[in-house]
Amino acid sequence: MIDIKLIRENPEIVKENIKKKFQDEKLVLVDEVAEMDKEYRAAKTKGDALRADRNRISKEIGSFMREGKKAEAGAAKTRVKEIGEELENLEKREEELNAEIRNRMMIIPNIIDPSVPIGKDDSENVEIQKYGDPVVPDYDIPYHTDILEALDGIDIDSAGRTSGNGFYYLKGDIARLHSSILSYARDFMINRGFTYFIPPFMIHGSVVNGVMSFAEMQNMMYKIEGEDLYLIGTSEHSMVGRFIDQILRKEDLPYTLTSYSPCFRKEVGAHGIEERGLYRVHQFEKQEMVVVCEPEDSPYWYDQLWQNSVDFFRSLDIPVRTLECCSGDLADLKVKSCDVEAWSPRQKKYFEVGSCSNLGDAQARRLGIRVKGENGNYFAHTLNNTVVAPPRMLIAFIENNLNADGSLNIPEPLRPYMGGQDKIVPPATKKNF
């Protein structure tokens, strides 16, 4: 949510930003907010004047009574009553206007960073840099679920019977590998100075509205029936929500946090064949990074966060690239965002395994996260990035570590979490290793 002062003073900047995001249908909101804001401020000014009049007249009533001026006192009482009724109607209108303004402000997109490339959708995102040499082996790489089934590491059929489509059982060495990746990611971020958290996995609606747009909420979040609680789609939601309505001490910033959680997502919409299996699921686990910082420091932390993801994947010898998200691919709260994509030797292309975002003060403004400053309080900036989400990362991992005989190599950083194991082999060939 942007500062309403920007609409008051520079509405054309807001409109131009909307055009850059190819959301022309929202242009009318700027004019509507501007008109409602004028009426709201006029109502506030009139209300202040009426309250001052009421206080003055109320004081006069006592004087009239002491002086025996009953008629004047009666007239003054009548006027106080009339002012009270007028104020009641005026305050009701103020509440209505305030709600209408906020509803529209929640839809108007955040101002994007000048460095963001202009484009309509993700097809116009811009490659920044590649890390590592992508390799295509001289043997076939099967689809990831076929590999996992050959390793006796997944059971999708049973999950379909217990839970439906979009769920899975991991088992044996693959389940252990999954947990090892998360444990390694946790320690990787702790070693980079981040504080480890396990947050609540359910949050109130007020937090949901603070951390994401309404459209995102509708497409992602599962609501607990009969309660003001939602299952989180990522631990960013509860981690940023942790600071709701707080005034932070300047000397405590930045907060650099890394959090583990299960994630629950509706994943609304039809997806192609390349997004079956573990690519888009309703439940998965993730290690996240979240930073709450001074406004002037958010560009620095943005670069630190995406670099952490690159370094994590490269430590496991998985080739990756970074991709700058264009204006039309940015969610409304984001100032700037880039995707980290991992190499798929089977598809011979990169696919998304994480996303890094600078949200400026949008979430802080919605949630009331302020910093206590010498000349008044101001809104903090928030950022987030995926360290690793094993379902997708697992796809990249097994494709890049698969041997011709169907076994999987375990990179050195993961071996301590795998009990020293350096390879996962199909059940029928275990006796050979």
Q: What are the tens digits of pLDDT across the range 17-41?
A: 999 999 999 999 999 999 999 999 9
Tokens of 256: 């650099």
Pairing mode of beta strands 349-358, 381-388: antiparallel
| The CATH fold of domain 122-432 | BirA Bifunctional Protein; domain 2 (3.30.930)
Tokens of 388: 């690793």
Alpha carbon separation from 229 to 203, 204, 208 (Å, rounded): 5, 5, 9
Q: Report the C-alpha gap between 210 and 247 in whole angstroms.
A: 16
Q: What angle do CA 105, 107, 109 make, to 5 degrees?
A: 90
> 16 by DSSP, 3-state: which?
helix
Give percent above pLDDT 70 in the chain. 97
Pairing mode of beta strands 320-324, 169-170: unpaired
> Mean pLDDT over residues 346-351, rounded?
95
Residue 344: strand pairing partners: 349
pLDDT value, residue 88: 92
pLDDT value, residue 276: 66
Q: Report the C-alpha gap between 204 and 195 in whole angstroms.
A: 24
With cut-offs at 50, 70 and 90, classify the pLDDT of residue 1.
confident
pLDDT value, residue 430: 53
> 143 by DSSP, 3-state: which?
coil
pLDDT value, residue 259: 98
All CATH 3.30.930.10 domain ranges in the chain, comma separated: 122-432
Using the predicted structure, report yes or no on whether residue 231 has a pLDDT greater than 60: yes
For domain 4-105, the CATH class is mainly alpha
Using the predicted structure, report yes or no on whether residue 103 has a pLDDT greater than 70: yes
All CATH 1.10.287.40 domain ranges in the chain, comma separated: 4-105
Q: Report the C-alpha gap between 280 and 392 in whole angstroms.
A: 8
Q: Dump pLDDT digits (tens) for 38-60.
A: 999 999 999 999 999 999 999 89
Q: Dump pLDDT digits (tens) for 143-172.
A: 999 999 999 999 999 999 999 888 999 999
Query: DSSP per residue over 340-374, as a string?
Result: EEEEETTTTEEEEEEEEEE-TTHHHHHHT-EEE-T
> Mean pLDDT over residues 273-288, rounded?
80
Using the predicted structure, report yes or no on whether residue 433 has a pLDDT greater than 60: no
